[in-house]
Amino acid sequence: MELKGKIALITGGLSGIGAATASELARLGADIAIAGKGAGEEKKVKDITSKIEKFERKCFVVEGDLSIPDDASRIVDEVVEVFGGIDVLIHCAGGRVPGGLIELTPEAWYKAFDIHVHAVFHLCRAAGPHMQKRGEGAIVLISSAGGLRGCKGAIAYDVVKGAIPQFTRDLAREFADDNIRVNAVAPGIIRTPFQDYLTPEQVKNNIENRIPLHREGKPEDVAQLIALLATNEFITGEVVTIDGGMAMRIV
């Protein structure tokens, strides 16, 4: 699917993987709508708008809480009103949920599901009917290497990210007759503010001992994969790991 002239709605598109994806899809010709809680941060909005406009594409930013059904519907309606439809939906919004079973509070557990699972449900449910009208489309969701493997001290995050692959498969099957492809990416260690909690010693250990390619990933690495899944017309229902080979190593 060519992206020139298409409309892409990206959540969490003001920083990290989301911002890199917004720039990459704009480079490929898409107009960009960005949604999320940070839409009121003027500097971030100005920065991403400038990057997108360098590719002579339009940028529209809308604020809202995607874990609230009415907000998700309003965001989608505003994007459709501005651009006329949605062809590509990318959900990058999220955040860390540290804590093991005992120290994690019930409130933090429920909030993790609101941010990482319920928001995906509300967003796809709101955007789906508009995408069905277009005759083709692509949805790309963000899982995590932690959602595919066990990780100490991050039980809520790993569980909610582990829900994304199954949601992806079911939605891919549901939307296949509408020519809407649904895939997910599972990033490993990517250098974004999400990883700022790591100590220099942990970063060094990751690079030297855990990642076979001996570097952290960049947001642009993930953005390129997302763009591939958004444009390839024969991949659906897949979860693609992008982690520098970390998950495949034995020793």
Global pTM exceeds 0.85: yes
Q: Which domain holds residue 83?
A: 7-190+219-245
Tell me which amino acid residue 166 is.
Q
Decide if 166 is inside a domain: yes
pLDDT class of 133 with cuts at 50, 70, 90: very high
Does the pLDDT value for residue 107 go beyond 90? yes
- CB-CB contact of 88 with 30 (8 Å): yes
Cα 31 from chain centre: 17
Decide if 208 is inside a domain: no
Decide if 107 is inside a domain: yes
Instruction: Read off the pLDDT of each residue in 116-122 and give the average, rounded to a whole number.
Output: 97
Which residues of the chain form beta strands (DSSP E)? Answer: 7-11, 31-36, 59-63, 88-91, 137-142, 180-187, 239-242
Q: How many other CB atoms sit within 10 Å of the CB of residue 119?
A: 24
Cα 123 to Cα 53: distance, rounded to the nearest angstrom:
26
In sequence order, what are the residues at sequence separation of 6 or more whose Cβ sits closer than 8 angstroms to the Cβ of residue 211?
A: 188, 189, 243, 244, 245, 246
Decide if 214 is inside a domain: no
- CB-CB contact of 59 with 53 (8 Å): yes
Catalytically annotated residues: 157
Does the pLDDT value for residue 251 go beyond 70? no
Cα 161 to Cα 186: distance, rounded to the nearest angstrom:
9
Decide if 150 is inside a domain: yes
Decide if 47 is inside a domain: yes
Q: How many other CB atoms sit within 10 Å of the CB of residue 151?
A: 14
pLDDT of 95: 80
Split into its structural domains, the chain has a count of 1
Between 8-22, 75-89, 119-133, 144-158, the lowest mean confidence (pLDDT) is in 144-158
DSSP letter, residue 147: G
Decide if 124 is inside a domain: yes
- Classify burial at 121, counting beta carbons within 10 Å of its beta carbon; exposed 0-12, middle 13-18, buried 19 or more: middle
Cα 240 to Cα 56, 145, 220, 222, 225, distances in angstroms: 30, 10, 16, 10, 9
pLDDT class of 194 with cuts at 50, 70, 90: low
Residue 78 belongs to domain with CATH number: 3.40.50.720
The single residue listed with the structure tokens 């007759």 is: 177
Does the pLDDT value for residue 176 go beyond 70? yes
pLDDT of 146: 84
Decide if 199 is inside a domain: no
Average pLDDT, the chain: 93
In sequence order, what are the residues at sequence separation of 6 or more whose Cβ sits closer than 8 angstroms to the Cβ of residue 68?
A: 122
Cα 249 to Cα 251: distance, rounded to the nearest angstrom:
6
SS3 content of the chain, % helix, strand, coil (to 5): 50, 15, 35
How many helices (H) and strands (E) the chain has is answered by: 8, 7
